[in-house]
């Protein structure tokens, strides 16, 4: 299971960490889309997680990823780290025996986890999320993957958000940026965050919006969720900015996943049958849907499209644009 090129490095890691050079049991874990190899290993009767980065180019350099993971582990957000080698691209951490994480419980726990994460010393900057979203939208527009009228509407909505959304330095915090269900493990008592490949300094509302896709189903739940994060001081500005980030996230997922599908040579079909937004995300949360196949990826893009087009018909769309354009002093 372990690549021959990594066998010596893994044996060395086990020897340095546990005083033995062999595991008693090993099982590959295949959930998630990361190209890294992940294993559950048993050493001296206890389970651990072994993660091996197989890429050897600069893009596979784990220096930044490991720094973020280490900070999160020390804060009790990520599992304890037993061994880490940047040179060998190997890490050994506690293994979290995950159990069902009820959405209601997640809605309570995860804002507190995000608050701790966002309070960490700032991660390194890679790219501003607004710039990344803008770049993907431009590429998507140039590719012409949808009818012109549909692309024009997406660009229009994107431009409205980008035109008012702020770049406040105080909201640039340590973010995970990939908080899908596979990266959130619940041990029956607390939640742990894993897979820190995509972590960097980012707008706090990105993490908030990603998790909300799975745990927030209406405005009442949204208020509870945001109060858990911001406290009783949550304002209509917080809610407006959160709403706009959710729409920007819809746009981002549409452009990214349809581009991935097209790049694989799969025809884009905007009439494709799909469930509604809530049903799709509930099934993702339950582990019933994987985005590893292109059919699911295309469905996922259209689910976000449907929800976006519904949301921008709400009075809240124009209200949020006006509130955020007015700035954080808008608390009426």
3-state secondary structure of 326: helix
What is the Cα–Cα distance from 91 to 123, expressed in whole angstroms? 19
What is the Cα–Cα distance from 30 to 27, expressed in whole angstroms? 10
Do 103-326 and 4-94 have the same topology in CATH? no
Q: What is the pLDDT of residues 184-195, one digit of tens each?
A: 999 999 999 999
pTM of the model: 0.94
Superfamily covering domain 4-94: Phosphorylase Kinase; domain 1 (3.30.200.20)
Q: Tell me, what DSSP letter sits at residue 23?
A: -
Q: What is the pLDDT of residues 265-284, one digit of tens each?
A: 999 998 899 999 999 999 99
Which CATH class for the 103-326 domain?
A: alpha beta
DSSP string, 173-241: EEE-----GGGEEE-SS-EEE---TT-EEEEHHHHHHHHHHHH--SHHHHHHHHHHHH-TT--HHHHHH
For residue 200, give Cα distances in angstroms to 73, 92, 111, 129, 176. Answer: 16, 22, 18, 10, 7
Structure tokens, 45: 């009767």
Beta bridge partners of 172: 203
Q: What is the pLDDT of residues 87-111, one digit of tens each?
A: 999 999 999 999 999 999 999 999 9
Beta bridge partners of 47: 42
Average pLDDT over residues 15-39: 90
Q: What is the pLDDT of residues 201-253, one digit of tens each?
A: 999 999 999 999 999 999 999 999 999 999 988 999 999 999 999 999 999 99
3-state secondary structure of 268: coil
State the sign of the Cα–Cα–Cα–Cα dihedral 202, 207, 213, 217. Answer: negative
Q: Where are the domains of the chain?
A: 4-94, 103-326
Q: Say yes or no to pLDDT of 56 above 80.
A: no
- Give CA angle at 70 (226, 231), nearest 5°: 15
What is the Cα–Cα distance from 215 to 84, expressed in whole angstroms? 33
Where in 20-72 does DSSP place strands (E)? 25-29, 37-43, 46-52
């Amino acid at each position: 299971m372990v690549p021959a090129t990594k066998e010596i490095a893994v044996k060395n890691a086990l020897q340095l960490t546990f005083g033995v050079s062999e595991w008693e049991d090993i099982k590959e874990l295949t959930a998630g889309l990361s190209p890294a190899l992940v294993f559950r290993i048993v050493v001296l009767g206890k389970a651990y997680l072994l993660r091996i980065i197989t890429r050897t180019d600069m893009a596979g350099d784990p220096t930044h990823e490991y720094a973020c993971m280490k900070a999160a582990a020390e804060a009790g957000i990520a599992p304890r780290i037993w061994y880490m080698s940047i040179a060998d691209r190997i890490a050994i951490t506690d293994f979290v025996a995950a159990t069902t994480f009820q959405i209601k419980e997640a809605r309570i726990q995860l804002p507190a986890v995000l608050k701790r994460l966002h309070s960490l010393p700032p991660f390194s900057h890679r790219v501003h999320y607004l710039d990344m979203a803008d770049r993907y939208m431009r590429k998507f527009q140039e590719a012409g993957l949808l009818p012109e009228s549909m692309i024009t509407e997406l660009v229009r909505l994107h431009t409205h958000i980008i035109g008012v959304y702020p770049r406040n330095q105080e909201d640039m915090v340590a973010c995970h940026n990939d908080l899908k269900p596979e990266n959130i493990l619940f041990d029956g008592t607390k939640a742990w965050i894993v897979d820190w490949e995509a972590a960097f300094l980012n707008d706090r509302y990105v993490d908030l919006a990603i998790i909300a896709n799975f745990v927030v189903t209406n405005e009442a739940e949204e208020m509870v969720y945001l109060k858990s994060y911001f406290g009783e001081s949550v304002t209509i500005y917080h809610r407006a900015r959160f709403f706009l980030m959710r729409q920007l996230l819809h746009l981002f997922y549409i452009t990214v996943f349809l581009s991935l599908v097209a790049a694989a040579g799969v025809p884009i079909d905007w009439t494709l049958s799909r469930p509604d937004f809530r049903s799709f995300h509930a099934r993702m949360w339950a582990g019933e849907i994987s985005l590893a196949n292109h059919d699911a990826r295309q469905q996922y893009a259209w689910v976000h499209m449907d929800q976006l087009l519904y949301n921008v018909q709400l009075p809240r769309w124009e209200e949020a644009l006006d509130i955020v354009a007015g700035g954080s002093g808008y608390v009426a």
